[in-house]
């Protein structure tokens, strides 16, 4: 009740937010996703505090999140009694790599995924909330009938339900179901095909399989105009964002400039920070998202700088030294140039004669890094693109410890071994 009163105070100051939040709740009630409780307070139950969050979405701008981690009157939270389930989500790095291998790429997402997964009726009393759309009206008890944001088991239930329907249709639509199972991250599908005809067929099959399970696919985007023309207009992502006049959609944590088929990077660097504290600098560094390491030469500087801040052993809200502040100020002034970095999405690896992967690695006293390039032979042309990279700063506690203790020897099979000695345990790293 106290948390609900806090929401009402926020609504008093922001009428537009109240209207948007109330409209969303009313939609839940109208569609049966949230129903009024009857007088059955004797049954086991749980009330979930809720609050409003703003979404960076072209469709739903606000939504409620339910706090299932909040301790109830007996000192136990709902999430304390629920196991989150095994990890079913596919690795984002692998999905991102595969997304770059298709000549014709497409993305889509399941509209309001959680709301299409119903809770068993015996579980619904544990998802009660308080709601009243006006201070003049009494506050009433409602229960949620679908999977809920904020409950730790919800992601598992939602993904498991989608995968269940895909597995059931695997025999009829093997390629489409494989995309749903392997190229989906929560409610986002990011995949593609080698030809336009195949892409049109796969899109139709994926849509059919998910509709069978009650999951509508919306906000389709593609680098292929012909594919988009085959999709109903109300299912296409029309509300795209723009950067310097180029349209893009967000997928896999990146910006995809689908018209030019380029990749961009997300970041949120504050231009006019008043204080340079460890907390402030770290919070801005972590806004730069680069899952494939395509900006490794840039992000490496950020990691080294953050390590230097840790070495100073300053508190989170204590201002860093003048030397660190000068370095960060110079770096921060250049980071907005990241928006100009737009590598190609497609690795040009379809219908090729030969593909080679070339790996490189190097290390210094400050950091180490590795990268992989793909070399593609096509007719009389050769294309080379960076696939992925990984960087790591040297461990502070071991800097200098390994200096001068590297040696090489040949094992019984004639292979080179790098031997790191003079430390408690000896490690053999096979080259």
Query: What is the number of structural domains in the chain?
Result: 3
Position 378 in a domain:
no
* Domain C-terminal end among 257, 288, 318: 257
**pTM of structure:** 0.83
Enclosing domain of residue 287:
278-340
Position 31 in a domain:
yes
* Whether residue 137 sits in one domain with residue 193: yes
Q: In angstroms, what CA-CA distances link 25 with 28, 30, 51? A: 5, 9, 12
* Whether residue 288 sits in one domain with residue 169: no
pLDDT at 403 over 60: no
272 pLDDT band, cuts 50/70/90, is low
* Whether residue 230 sits in one domain with residue 88: yes
419 pLDDT band, cuts 50/70/90, is very low
Q: pLDDT tens digits for 332-378?
A: 888 888 988 999 999 999 888 899 999 999 999 899 999 999 999 98
* Whether residue 220 sits in one domain with residue 134: yes
Position 390 in a domain:
no
The answer to whether residues 359 and 431 touch, using CB atoms and an 8 Å cutoff, is no
Q: 15-19, 83-87, 250-254, 418-422: lowest mean pLDDT where?
A: 418-422
Highest mean pLDDT among 128-137, 189-198, 292-301, 351-360: 189-198
Q: pLDDT tens digits for 65-81?
A: 899 999 988 899 999 99
* Whether residue 194 sits in one domain with residue 102: yes
Secondary structure in 3-state letters for the chain:
CHHHHHHHHHHHHCHHHHHHHHHHHHHHHHCCCEEECCCCCCCCCCECCEEEEECCCCCCCEEEEECCCCCCCCCCCHHHHCCCCCCCCCCHHHHHHHHCCCCEEEEEEECCHHHHCECCCCCHHHHEEEECCCCCCCCEEEEECECCCCCCCHHHHHHHHHHHHHHHCCCCCHHHHHHHHHCEECCEEEEEECCHHHHHHHHHHHHHHHHHCCCCEEEEEECCHHHHHCCCHHHECCCCEEECCEEEEEECCEEEECCCCEEECECCCCCCCCCCEHHHHHHHHCCCECCCCCCHHHHHHHHHHHHHHHHHCCCCCCECCHHHHHHHHHHHHHHHHHHHCCCECCCCCCCCCEEEEEEEEEECCCEEEEEEEEEEEECCEEEEEEEEEEEEECCHHHCCCCCCCEEEEECCCCCEEEEECCCCCCEEEEC
Give pLDDT, residue 427: 34
For strand 246-251 and strand 416-420, is the pairing parallel, antiparallel, or unpaired?
unpaired
Mean pLDDT of the chain: 86
* Whether residue 284 sits in one domain with residue 245: no
Cα 190 to Cα 179: distance, rounded to the nearest angstrom: 8
pLDDT at 414 over 70: no
* Domain C-terminal end among 306, 340, 374: 340
Give pLDDT, residue 368: 94
* Whether residue 117 sits in one domain with residue 28: yes
For strand 62-66 and strand 50-54, is the pairing parallel, antiparallel, or unpaired?
antiparallel
* Whether residue 217 sits in one domain with residue 186: yes
* Whether residue 182 sits in one domain with residue 80: yes
Q: 116-130, 250-264, 283-297, 396-410: lowest mean pLDDT where?
A: 396-410
Position 355 in a domain:
no
Angle between helices 154-168 and 174-182 (to 10 degrees): 170
Position 32 in a domain:
yes
Position 289 in a domain:
yes
* Domain C-terminal end among 189, 223, 257: 257
* Whether residue 425 sits in one domain with residue 297: no
* Whether residue 319 sits in one domain with residue 200: no
How many residues in total does the chain contain? 431
Q: pLDDT tens digits for 96-153?
A: 999 999 999 999 999 899 999 999 999 999 999 999 888 778 899 999 999 998 999 9
* Whether residue 12 sits in one domain with residue 154: yes
The answer to whether residues 218 and 225 touch, using CB atoms and an 8 Å cutoff, is no
pLDDT at 3 over 80: yes
Give pLDDT, residue 424: 31
Position 356 in a domain:
no
Q: Which residues sit opposite 50 in a β-bridge?
A: 66
Does residue 195 or residue 429 have the better pLDDT? 195
Q: In angstroms, what CA-CA distances link 87 with 41, 68, 90? A: 35, 20, 8
The answer to whether residues 256 and 249 touch, using CB atoms and an 8 Å cutoff, is yes
- The pLDDT of 248-277, averaged and rounded, is 86
Position 269 in a domain:
no
């Amino acid at each position: 009740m106290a948390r609900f009163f806090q929401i009402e105070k926020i609504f008093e100051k922001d009428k537009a937010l109240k209207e948007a939040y109330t409209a969303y709740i009313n939609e839940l009630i109208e569609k049966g996703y949230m129903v009024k409780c009857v007088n059955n307070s004797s049954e086991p139950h749980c009330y979930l505090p809720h609050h409003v969050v703003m979404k960076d979405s072209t469709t739903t701008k606000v939504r409620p999140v339910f706090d299932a981690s909040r301790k109830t009157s007996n000192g136990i939270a709902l999430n304390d009694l629920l196991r989150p389930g095994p990890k079913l989500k596919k690795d984002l790095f692998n999905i991102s790599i595969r997304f770059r291998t298709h000549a014709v790429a497409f993305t889509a997402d399941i509209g309001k995924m959680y709301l299409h997964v119903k809770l068993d009726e015996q579980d619904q009393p544990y998802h009660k909330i308080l709601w009243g759309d006006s201070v003049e009206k009494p506050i009433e008890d409602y229960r949620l009938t679908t999977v809920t944001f904020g409950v730790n088991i919800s992601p598992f239930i939602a993904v498991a339900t989608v995968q269940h329907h895909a597995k059931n249709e695997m025999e009829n639509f093997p390629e489409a179901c494989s995309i749903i199972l392997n190229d989906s991250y929560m409610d986002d599908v990011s995949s593609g095909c080698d030809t336009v005809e195949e892409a049109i067929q796969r899109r139709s099959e994926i849509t059919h399989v998910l509709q069978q399970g009650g999951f509508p696919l919306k906000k389709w985007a593609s680098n292929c105009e012909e594919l988009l023309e085959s999709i109903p207009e109300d299912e296409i992502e029309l509300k795209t964002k723009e950067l310097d006049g180029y349209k893009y959609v967000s997928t896999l944590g990146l910006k995809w400039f689908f018209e030019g088929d380029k990749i961009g990077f997300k970041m949120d660097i504050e231009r006019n920070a008043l204080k340079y504290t460890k907390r402030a600098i770290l919070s801005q560094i972590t806004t730069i998202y680069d899952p494939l390491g395509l900006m490794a030469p840039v992000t490496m500087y950020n990691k080294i700088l953050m390590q230097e801040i840790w070495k100073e052993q300053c508190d989170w809200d204590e201002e860093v030294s003048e030397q660190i502040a000068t370095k960060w100020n110079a770096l921060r002034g250049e980071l907005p140039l990241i928006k100009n970095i737009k590598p190609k999405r497609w690795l040009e690896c379809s219908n090729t004669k030969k593909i080679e992967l070339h790996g490189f690695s190097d290390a210094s006293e400050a950091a180490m890094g590795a990268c992989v390039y793909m070399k593609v032979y096509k007719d009389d042309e050769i294309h080379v693109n960076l696939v992925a990279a990984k960087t790591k700063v040297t461990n502070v506690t071991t800097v200098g410890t390994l200096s001068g203790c590297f040696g090489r020897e040949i094992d019984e099979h004639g292979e080179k071994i790098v031997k790191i000695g003079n430390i408690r345990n000896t490690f053999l790293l096979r080259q």
